[in-house]
Structure 1
Amino acid sequence: MTEIADRYRRRADAFARTIDGVRPEQWADPSPCADWDARDVVRHIIDMHAVMLAPLGRTLSPAPGVDTDPAAAFRAARADVEAILDDPAVAAAKCDTPAGRVSAEDHVDRVVSDDLPLHGWDLARATGQDDTIDPVDVERLWAGTSSLPAELLEQFRTPGAFGPGVVVFGPEVKVPADAPVQDRLLGMIGRDPAWR
């Protein structure tokens, strides 16, 4: 198993646990993502799994929908991405992405794998669960995000810059400079760490 595959699995495990912790009546609860409820957070993650498959000419396998069974829908999408990561030839295949031509596994690592802990926070916060992001992920995501050039950060905050309806980051939420790294990371990507 590669480091990328291992990282994806660890993060997917955590996201799956958060899905499992959602009570049935909480799926319509609002999330820190404007206009999204808890179910929409999972829907977005599954949609991003489909985005990972598209450059390889693949689609998500048939599965229950998010409206019917969010946990099963995520398990199926996850299995599709893990099939890419588990096949060395497919994982190494080059594909065209908004960030340029990269290997399939790098595309997974930079997009949906990084999305899992951040949207895991959204889902946990929406449903009153422990929203602590793994400190290893916080440090890695903070290092990558805080070192982005200002012009790229601005592009990430521009709706539609990476395709119709795509918003990578929201407007920055200012947090104190001495705030915990998780709070600074959340603020940088457009989340209010104090959202309830």
Structure 2
Amino acid sequence: MSETADRYRRRADAFERKVVAVRPDQWANPSPCEKWTARQVVRHILDMHAVMLRPLGRSLSPAPSVDEDPLAAFRAARADVEAILDDPALAGQECDTPSGRVTAEQHIDQVVSEDLPMHGWDLARATGQDDTIDPEDVERAWAAMKALPAELVEKFRTPGAFGPDVEVFGPEVKVEEGASPQDRLLAFIGRDPRWRP
């Protein structure tokens, strides 16, 4: 198994644990993503899994909807992505993405795998769970953010730049001097680390 597949599985496991811990009465809770409830955070993650499959001519396998069973929906979507990561021919297939031509494995690693810890924080914060992001993921994401060219960061902050209703980053949030690495990362992508439902 590749390092990319290992990383995806570890992150998907952490996200899945958060989905499992959501009580039925919490799915309509607001999340730190201004327009989304807890359920909509999971729906976004499923949508991004579908986006990873599209360049390979695939789509999500039949499964319960997020409205019916968020956990079953997530488990089915992650199985679809893991099937790509576990098949060297599929993982190595090149595809066109908004970031240029990359392998399917790289696309998964750079997009949906990176999304899981951040949106895991959203889901945890919305439902009163432990919202600590793995320090390794924080460090890796922070290094990636700091390496982004300023014009790309600006594009990420521009609503609709990657399609209708797509917003990658929100406006940067100010945090105090000496904020934790996790809080600095969240603030950079437009989350308020102090947000509470």
Query: If the TM-score is normalised by the length of the shorter chain, which range does it land in?
Result: over 0.9
The number of equivalent residue pairs is 196
1:42 aligns with 2:46: no
Residue 148 of structure 1 corresponds to which residue in structure 2?
Answer: 148
Residue 32 of structure 2 corresponds to which residue in structure 1?
Answer: 32
Q: Which deviations, in whole Å up to 9, do the C-alpha atoms of 1:72-98 show, x marking residues without a partner?
A: 000000000000000000000000000
Q: If the length of structure 2 is used for normalisation, what is the TM-score?
A: 0.98
Residue 128 of structure 1 corresponds to which residue in structure 2?
Answer: 128
Give the SS at the match of 2:101.
strand
Greater than 2 Å deviation, 4+ residue runs: none
Answer yes or no: is the 8 Å Cα contact 1:177–1:184 preserved in 2: no
Residue 93 of structure 1 corresponds to which residue in structure 2?
Answer: 93
Q: If the length of structure 1 is used for normalisation, what is the TM-score?
A: 0.99
Amino acid at match of 1:30: P
Residue 21 of structure 1 corresponds to which residue in structure 2?
Answer: 21
- Alignment partners' CA distance in 2, 1:175 and 1:102: 35
- Alignment partners' CA distance in 1, 2:143 and 2:87: 29
Tell me by how many angstroms 1:146 deviates. 2.0
Residue 82 of structure 1 corresponds to which residue in structure 2?
Answer: 82
Q: How does 1:178-189 map to 2 (within 5 A)?
A: 178-189=178-189
Tell me by how many angstroms 1:176 deviates. 2.1
Answer yes or no: is the 8 Å Cα contact 1:45–1:115 preserved in 2: yes
Matched-pair identity in %: 76
- Alignment partners' CA distance in 2, 1:195 and 1:72: 29
**Residue segments in structure 1 that go unaligned for 5+ positions in a row:** none
Tell me by how many angstroms 1:149 deviates. 1.7
- Alignment partners' CA distance in 1, 2:61 and 2:152: 34
Q: Which deviations, in whole Å up to 9, do the C-alpha atoms of 1:25-69 show, x marking residues without a partner?
A: 000000000110000000000000000000000000000000000
**Residue segments in structure 2 that go unaligned for 5+ positions in a row:** none
CA-based RMSD:
0.6
